[in-house]
Chain A
Amino acid sequence: MGISATSNMRAIVGAAGMAMFVAAMSGSLAAQWLNYPTARVPRTSTGSPDLSAPTPRLADGTPDLSGLWEAEKTRPCPRDGCQDQQVGEQFVDIGWGLKGGLPYQPWAAELVKARRAEMGKGDPISHCLPIGVPRTQFSPFLKKILHVPGLVAVLDEQNMSYRQIFTDGRPPLADPYPSWNGYSTGKWDGDTLVVQTNGFRDEMWLDRNGSPMTDAARVTERIRRVNYGKVEIEVTVDDPKAYTAPWTARINHFLLLDTDLLDYVCLENEKDVSHLVGK
């Protein structure tokens, strides 16, 4: 079930499979913030949102990616009901769905084995560090996409972080300053926004298993809004230091209506790290 009903309370399932944060909000308080109706939603004849309506377009005719988006919940829900922000399979293993799994270099395979044995206690996001690109596409936290001339900006609920994708025609940089989000440039290939990113810092994690990404990585995201309610994203990671061949992971994002981003400040009253003991 991709489209989540608006809930008065959003359970925030945190970084670790073992660590769950529940944002303790009273329903009535949160409701005021979260239940503001989204404007200009196409409706069916019965008045309900028409999520399969055509892809909206900007004045220049390119697809409009604006909106509040949530990654597909690719894990079955627990028997007592789906968590609102439940992690998906690819959050745990970004190679989920790839035949044969990820093509790790030998050292990378060893590292993942060690990190899994430690239950991922070194995962940067469990320490309130950035999730980075491209892992953010597989995170259960909501993202809001904005278009302004020459730029696609993504507001990420996780850590109240953001990302800039320059769409003004500038070329990628040869050797950008290293960062968690890298340096992203985008251009339209038909109705698909193709985003190229390089300039990553070293020693990033792509998933809970600890699949590494190095400073040699180049990431290509192909982002296509197929209709009003759905975006399809293909993420290709080309990191010859860590993987023997480029590989591509896919995920759908679904539009959320009548709700909004919350201020999520991971470092505030953080109680998780002391429990990350590994084994």
Chain B
Amino acid sequence: MRALIIAAQAAVLALALSATASAQWLNHPTADIPRTPDGKPNLSAPAPRTSDGKPQLAGLWRPSPGLTGDIARNLKPGDVPFQPWAETLYKQRRANNSKDDPTANCIVGGVPRSDLVGYPFKILQVPGMVVILYEAVHAYRQIFTDGRTLPENPQPAWFGYSVGRWEGDTLVVETTGFNDKGWLDNAGKPATDQLHVTERFVRKDFGNMDIQITIDDPKAYTKPWTVTQPLAFQADTELLEYICNENNKYFELVHDFGK
């Protein structure tokens, strides 16, 4: 049974699954992973590698809790270099409990917010592309690793347009082409269509990966700033089908507390 924590801190929806039914789906043993003698996943084993020698990023991962609510939680106060208008907007969103959060209406979180949300996601590596399947709102993202460059003026999108390249053992993903509606976290730090995100995927060992996220959005922030989101490998479980807008009760809640 997995508790689904939706956009706002205030609203917690529990998906009422029967333990027996979900167990069948969720408890399939993951193949080809290192295990300790007692059969448990050996999460401190070395990071596996693909046939071309690069770290294998594929697998089911879950962001460790912490940054979903406040992406700058581990920074010092004042370290988020807001432009004045962005700070004003942020304070308004804090004051009204993020009632206009797009994810409350089941819109995708986009980049980098989807790196932070505490639902599992599955990374797939295929020739020329890394794909992320997100449990949250059942969406996906494509990262092109075939050597193409970022388009100069792509169709604006929540996930933007992502290209990735290897720098040693780090997958470096650059994303631009955002719409101007993004929120970086539940608290409502804004992003604009000038956002350029750099994500550095560093698999530290079998069970742990970091995404170092650099936010470069000169419209909203006076300089680039960086946070780190740890991910934990999820063995012997699976993605569930999470359909956010099916029986969504968020607005009934948010309109009560959002005044």
* Chain A positions near chain B (C-beta within 8 angstroms): 25, 28-30, 32-33, 36, 39, 66, 127-130, 146-151, 153, 155, 159-162, 164, 168, 170, 173-181, 183, 199, 260-263, 265, 267-268
CB contact between B246 and one of A129, A164, A199 (< 8 Å): that residue: A129
Residues of A near B131 (CB, < 8 A) are: 146, 153, 155
CB contact between A180 and one of B17, B22, B124, B241 (< 8 Å): that residue: B241
Complex contact B126–A263 (CB within 8 A) = no
Complex contact A148–B125 (CB within 8 A) = yes
CB contact between A170 and one of B28, B128, B177 (< 8 Å): that residue: B28
- Among B105, B125, B133, the most chain A Cβ lie within 10 Å of the Cβ of B133
A261 and B240 alpha carbons, distance in the complex (Å): 23
**Closest beta carbon of chain A to B224's beta carbon, Å:** 25
Q: Of the 9-residue stretches B74-82, B151-159, B210-218, which lies at the interface with chain A? A: B151-159
CB-nearest residue of chain A relative to B241?
A179
Q: Of the 9-residue stretches B38-46, B92-100, B140-148, which lies at the interface with chain A? A: B140-148
Residues of A near B254 (CB, < 8 A) are: none
Question: Chain A: interface secondary structure?
Answer: loop
Complex contact B128–A183 (CB within 8 A) = no
Complex contact B153–A29 (CB within 8 A) = yes
Complex contact A128–B245 (CB within 8 A) = yes
Complex contact A268–B25 (CB within 8 A) = no
CB contact between B21 and one of A30, A176, A181 (< 8 Å): that residue: A176
Residues of A near B24 (CB, < 8 A) are: 173-177
Complex contact B124–A39 (CB within 8 A) = no
Residues of B near A25 (CB, < 8 A) are: 155
Can you give 13 A-B contacts (C-beta < 8 A)? A30-B155, A127-B245, A159-B138, A160-B139, A161-B139, A168-B31, A177-B17, A177-B240, A178-B21, A180-B241, A181-B241, A263-B157, A265-B107
Whether A267 touches B153, Cβ cut-off 8 Å, given contacts A155-B140, A160-B139, A161-B139, is: no
Query: A-B contact count, CB below 8 Å?
Result: 104
Complex contact B126–A175 (CB within 8 A) = no
- Is B13 located at the chain interface by the 8 A CB criterion? no
A30 and B246 alpha carbons, distance in the complex (Å): 31
- Is B5 located at the chain interface by the 8 A CB criterion? no
- Is B243 located at the chain interface by the 8 A CB criterion? yes
Top 8 nearest A-B pairs by Cβ distance?
A32-B151, A179-B241, A263-B157, A160-B139, A162-B140, A177-B25, A33-B155, A173-B24
- Among B20, B125, B128, B246, the most chain A Cβ lie within 10 Å of the Cβ of B246
A183 and B159 alpha carbons, distance in the complex (Å): 27
Whether A262 touches B155, Cβ cut-off 8 Å, given contacts A146-B126, A174-B24, A177-B24, is: yes
Complex contact B25–A267 (CB within 8 A) = no
CB-nearest residue of chain A relative to B161?
A33
**Closest beta carbon of chain B to A167's beta carbon, Å:** 12
Residues of A near B157 (CB, < 8 A) are: 262-263
- Is B239 located at the chain interface by the 8 A CB criterion? yes
**Closest beta carbon of chain B to A271's beta carbon, Å:** 14
A146 and B128 alpha carbons, distance in the complex (Å): 11
- Is B47 located at the chain interface by the 8 A CB criterion? no
Residues of B near A161 (CB, < 8 A) are: 138-140
Complex contact A160–B140 (CB within 8 A) = yes
**Closest beta carbon of chain B to A105's beta carbon, Å:** 26
CB-nearest residue of chain A relative to B243?
A130
Complex contact A150–B31 (CB within 8 A) = yes
CB-nearest residue of chain A relative to B140?
A162
